[in-house]
Amino acid sequence: DSCLRAPLIPATPPLPPRATARLHPLPLLVGALFAAYYHLLVEPAPSYYQSLFLSLGSNDTAAAHLRALTVRPHLAGTEANALAADHVVSTLSSLSFPTRVTPYEVLLSSPVRRSLSLSAPGRDTTAFALVQDTYPGDPYAAASAEVVPTFLAYAASGSAATEVVYANYGRTEDYAYLASRGVNVTGKVALARYGKVYRGDIVKNARDAGAAAAVIFTDPKDYTPGKAFPDGPWMPPTGVQVGSTFKGVGDPTTPMWASSEGCERVSVAEAMAFPTRVTPYEVLLSYPVRRSLSLSAPGRDTTAFALVQDTYPGDPYAAASAEVVPTFLAYAASGSAATEVVYANYGRTEDYAYLASRGVNVTGKVALARYGKVYRGDIVKNARDAGAAAAVIFTDPKDYTPGKAFPDGPWMPPTGVQVGSTFKGVGDPTTPMWASSEGCERVSVAEAMATDDMPGIPALPVSGRDGEEILRLVGGDVAPEDWQGGEGAPVYHLGPGPAVLNLSYTGNETLATIQNVISVIEGKEEPDRYVILGNHRDAWTFGAADPNSGTAALLELAERLSKLQTKGWRPRRTIILCNWDAEEYGLIGSTEWVEENRAMLTSRTVAYLNVDVGVSGSGLDASATPQLDELLKQASKKVQNPDNGTESLYDMWMASDGSLIGRLGGGGSDYSAFVQHIGIPSVQMSIWSEYAVYHSVYDDFTWMEKYGDPMFRRHVAGTP
């Protein structure tokens, strides 16, 4: 049953007795809201309101909100993220919208210790710094100290000191290839690169391949094809994509039910009032405690990797970078591996199948895979399933630095690391399928971490520079052409060995309080019918593109709606604005809220419009359930192309690679619980291009201002 802790919506008749692509709603969001189809949101409104709304856009307002939201890194469960919630609350409340924070206690993951060193015969051990460097003049240099250390949320605590197996993108097909080549991942550290699958899949694939641990790197091939930030938009050399490896959605401790406080019901009158508030949930999160990675090979000293994303001269975020979480993979298992490396391409199942076909045994090895094809949680899981002892995921410069690295260009810098979650579920892992309410039944942390949705082996993300350093010492057969890196990269070999990775990771999986912010604009004619707009607030680092370009646009939207209200406008149906927490760990905040309010939302919600990465470049991308296809088309024709005033967003859309409407599936963002749990028509839209600094310390206001949206016109276009 759905249990409400606090008021939910404006007064209406009493409740009856209880019985996929990454896209973006904001451009459609309210273009859909006000300009497009009356059947979704607004009564056939006078053209006056439509014209007035479209004229109220403010570049300065969007930029100001984004700047305020990205002053400090704000990972879910941290004080800084609570302060970011305060900004959202104060802005919405100042616009006279009833606003509330909805807290949930959910399971989050944070790094406690992490280390990564590389050794190989005949060379000194390299201890990786695991730090994303700032740059000269970086305005975030000081704040970077607050960024969570590079890690993969929910990665298992543990260590591995073993050889590395390069697993390409960490996909199942990559491990299949390794197997085909006779490369045994079992007991090894799987090194994979980001770019093809979710990081949780990268780690899971490494685990499933038998890897003892996984390391994921942002290969410059994928993330720095041009100038790296700050000289360009691409990932700098030390940039690290952090993130969750949880493959579920919602609070891992309350999967499929809400992480709510108790289960007390409020009266219908209180529920219908729905003031803006924060809704907290206590959920299982993951943080790094210790981590290390070193590389050794015969005839060379051991290299200890720093596991740090460097700042750059003048980096305005250099100080704030100290707050950034260390590079890690959330929910990765604590443990260690000191064993040979097997390169597993993108860490897909087909990659491991290829390895098997080549006689490469992954069992007991470290699977090295690159980001880019599958979710990092699958990369690690595939490594695990292939028998790897650990997994390492890197951002291959081929994928992430095809041009100048940031700050000279938009691409990932050499030390950039993509962090993230490896949890393959959704919601709180300790309350699967029910809300994480106060006093609710929970599975133990040990039980939650032992499910197949968790990576089960130690895993670390590393930079493209570190990934290539490892691959220089990996021997065995030469990897296929499509497993190779970009220009200037070493020749990638499958392994195993002679390079040995000594990986150690200790994570802290702990119950932490997250906070959703919920605000309501009461409908005029159908107040008990809801159109819900949402995006998440929590970020692995500063989160300028992911997700706060969406939050800034959502707040800009709220300001416009407030101005319309002063002119006498009211929406036909109730609009609910939702700012989710802990999305990065596994869609936890949105899943817990849906689990808590399932019955009401199922019967009353007309549509859910999701905004994740609101702006990351040019081009319009859209996904939806089929009911909203026509709405997307018509709404996008009402909004001007921010890069060409003679065209509409629809024209931009048709000119982009993603001109077809994608279908929402999997756990890509906060639409998941609405679509898969309660069957609500949903949309995900964004004005975006693939951006290389994703989940790294370089996703900050400077990158956005230089490369993502220099004039903030795209933020404004993304709002109507």
Nearest to 700, CA basis, from 72, 219, 266: 72
Number of H helices, E strands in the chain: 21, 33
Q: How many other C-beta atoms are found inside a 10 Å radius of the C-beta of residue 478?
A: 13
Q: What is the pLDDT of residue 636?
A: 81
Residue 570 has phi, psi (to 5 degrees) of -140, 140
Asked whether residue 459 falls in the same domain as residue 587, the answer is no
Asked whether residue 490 falls in the same domain as residue 620, the answer is no
- Residue 261: CA count within 13 A, CB half-sphere: 13
Q: What is the pLDDT of residue 1?
A: 37
Is 258 part of a structural domain of the chain?
no
Which spans in 278-343 are helix H? none
Would you tell me the crossing angle of helices 349-357 and 376-385 to the nearest 10 degrees?
30
Asked whether residue 501 falls in the same domain as residue 643, the answer is no
pLDDT digits (tens, 9 = 90+) for 406-462: 999 999 999 999 999 999 999 999 999 888 888 889 999 999 999 999 999 999 999
Q: How many other C-beta atoms are found inside a 10 Å radius of the C-beta of residue 457?
A: 42
- Class of residue 563 by CB neighbours under 10 A (exposed 0-12, middle 13-18, buried 19+): middle
Q: What is the pLDDT of residue 13?
A: 35
Nearest to 473, CA basis, from 296, 354, 685, 237: 296
Helix (H, G, I), strand (E, B) or coil at 53: helix
Asked whether residue 495 falls in the same domain as residue 371, the answer is yes
Q: How many other C-beta atoms are found inside a 10 Å radius of the C-beta of residue 60?
A: 10
Domain of residue 66, CATH code: 3.40.630.10
Is 97 part of a structural domain of the chain?
yes
Helix (H, G, I), strand (E, B) or coil at 711: coil
Nearest to 463, CA basis, from 498, 430, 429, 417: 417
State how far Cα 377 lies from the chain centre.
11
d(CA 192, CA 87): 38
pLDDT digits (tens, 9 = 90+) for 16-26: 333 333 444 45
Residue 352 contacts residue 166 (beta carbons within 8 Å) = no
Is 263 part of a structural domain of the chain?
no
pLDDT along the chain (720 residues), means of 10: 34 35 44 45 63 87 90 90 91 87 82 88 91 90 89 81 93 94 91 92 89 91 92 92 81 59 42 54 96 95 96 94 96 97 98 97 97 96 98 97 95 97 95 87 95 96 97 96 95 94 97 92 87 94 91 88 82 92 94 91 92 78 86 82 77 70 80 91 81 94 90 72
Torsion of CA 318, 323, 324, 325, to 10 degrees: 150
Which H or E element spans position 214?
strand 213-218
d(CA 635, CA 720): 9
Is 3 part of a structural domain of the chain?
no
Is 253 part of a structural domain of the chain?
no
Name the residue with tokens 């706060």. 548
Asked whether residue 61 falls in the same domain as residue 144, the answer is no
Nearest to 304, CA basis, from 131, 111, 491, 165: 131
Positions marked catalytic: 583
Would you tell me the crossing angle of helices 59-69 and 79-94 to the nearest 10 degrees?
150
User: What domain range includes position 392?
Assistant: 109-247+284-510
Q: What is the pLDDT of residue 666?
A: 67
Asked whether residue 291 falls in the same domain as residue 144, the answer is yes
d(CA 567, CA 52): 10
Partner residues linked to 697 by β-bridges? none
Helix (H, G, I), strand (E, B) or coil at 241: strand
Q: What is the pLDDT of residue 385?
A: 97
Nearest to 374, CA basis, from 542, 178, 206, 536: 206
Which H or E element spans position 472?
helix 464-472
Q: How many domains in the chain?
A: 2
d(CA 173, CA 94): 52
Is 9 part of a structural domain of the chain?
no
What is the maximum alpha-carbon separation in the chain?
A: 78
| CA gyration radius, the chain | 23
Asked whether residue 72 falls in the same domain as residue 199, the answer is no
Decide which of 452, 487, 510 is a domain's last residue: 510
Which pTM was predicted?
0.65
Where are any strands of DSSP class E within 129-212? Answer: 131-134, 140-147, 150-172, 181-184, 189-202
Is 271 part of a structural domain of the chain?
no
d(CA 198, CA 475): 27
Which residues make Cβ contacts (< 8 Å) with residue 426, sequence separation at least 6? Answer: 248, 249, 250, 255, 586, 587, 588, 591, 667, 672, 673
Asked whether residue 523 falls in the same domain as residue 669, the answer is yes
Name the residue with tokens 């230089």. 706
Q: How many other C-beta atoms are found inside a 10 Å radius of the C-beta of residue 488?
A: 10
Asked whether residue 531 falls in the same domain as residue 475, the answer is no
Is 21 part of a structural domain of the chain?
no
Residue 448 contacts residue 456 (beta carbons within 8 Å) = no
Decide which of 461, 479, 510 is a domain's last residue: 510
